[in-house]
């Protein structure tokens, strides 16, 4: 299994087959309570376009340590991961909390980025107190609610089962730290400082990070394209994987749509 060590902790990651033969690299950052498996459709679907690298953030999935607890600390861990893999320039995609991490990374290390993809995210997150209380009181119920709210319309039962197992595996403490990182995040100044080409993409029916947050974000990033996918929820890169990959591939190739 591929691991690298960052600050004394093992970070698990996967990459597309024969990825090192590609000239372009895309690093994908997952969101709250999740792990790199949320990018499975990109890991396979973009393999002919670029080298796709998908880490589990510290305290998530198969990576050691605890969830960083702040967007800025997480961005620093990601930078350590990038350094360990000796990647010079690359594209970066982030989903939800991962999108906030990408914004922070772009502000700190923008010279290394060729472009960014910000999926189902914004410059801030509205976390209901009731949800945080449910996570603390009855995590299985909170995980179930998260899965029910993550998708628009009907999705295969195995998709929801997989998402629930992922959240339960990472546990309540990881989710609490992720939620607090989201709650303290304010990226309005960060967004305005992102100078690299940017694709902002979201689902029209996202009730976790409503499309209005993505619209605001795209309006603040100087060089951005906004794509709102109809009848799609929070997990836009899963629910509309083919369309998502088409737009990402266009960004990677410099043919912005």
pLDDT value at residue 160: 86
Residue 119 near residue 209 (C-beta atoms within 8 A): no
pLDDT value at residue 117: 98
Q: How many residues does the chain have?
A: 257
pLDDT value at residue 237: 97
The tens-digit pLDDT sequence of the chain (257 residues) is: 699 999 899 999 999 987 667 789 999 999 999 999 999 999 999 999 999 999 999 999 999 999 998 999 999 999 999 999 999 999 999 999 999 999 999 999 999 999 999 999 999 998 888 998 999 999 999 999 999 999 997 777 888 899 999 999 999 999 999 999 999 999 988 998 999 999 999 999 999 999 999 999 999 999 899 999 999 999 999 999 999 999 999 999 986 54
Q: For residue 198, list its beta bridge partners.
A: 116, 224
Write down the residue that tokens 């796709």 correspond to: 52
Angstrom distances, CA of residue 74 to CA of 65, 67, 226, 246? 12, 8, 25, 28
- Which residues are within 8 A (CB) of 108 and not within 5 positions of it... i.e. 6 or more apart? 75, 76, 79
Q: Domains along the chain?
A: 3-253 (3.40.50.1820)
113-119 and 90-95: which strand pairing?
Answer: parallel
Sheet strand arrangement including 25-29: 3-6, 9-15, 51-55, 25-29, 90-95, 113-119, 198-203, 224-229
pLDDT value at residue 256: 54
Rg, Å, the chain Cα set: 17
Residue 121 near residue 205 (C-beta atoms within 8 A): no
């Amino acid at each position: 299994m591929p691991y690298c060590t960052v600050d004394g902790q093992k970070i698990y990651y996967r990459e597309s087959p024969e990825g090192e033969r590609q000239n372009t690299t895309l690093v994908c950052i997952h969101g709250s309570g999740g792990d790199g498996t949320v990018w499975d459709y990109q890991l396979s679907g973009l393999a002919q376009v670029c080298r796709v690298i998908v880490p589990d953030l510290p305290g998530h999935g198969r990576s050691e340590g605890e969830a960083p607890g702040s967007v800025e600390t997480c961005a620093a861990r990601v930078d350590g991961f990038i350094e360990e893999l000796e990647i010079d320039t690359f594209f970066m995609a982030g989903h939800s909390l991962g999108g906030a991490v990408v914004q922070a990374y772009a502000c700190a290390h923008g010279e290394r980025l060729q472009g960014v993809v910000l999926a189902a995210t914004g410059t801030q997150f509205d976390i209901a107190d009731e949800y945080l209380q449910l996570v603390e009181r009855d995590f299985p119920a909170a995980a179930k609610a998260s899965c029910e709210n993550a998708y628009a319309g009907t999705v295969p039962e195995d998709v929801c089962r997989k998402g629930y197992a992922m959240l339960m595996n990472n546990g309540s403490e990881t989710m609490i730290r992720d939620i607090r990182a989201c709650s303290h995040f304010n990226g309005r100044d960060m967004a305005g400082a992102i100078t690299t080409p940017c694709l902002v993409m979201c689902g029209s029916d996202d009730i976790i990070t409503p499309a209005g947050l993505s619209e605001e974000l795209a309006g603040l990033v100087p060089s951005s394209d906004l794509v709102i996918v109809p009848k799609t929820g929070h997990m836009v890169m899963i629910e509309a994987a083919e369309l998502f990959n088409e737009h990402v591939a266009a960004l990677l190739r410099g043919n912005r749509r």
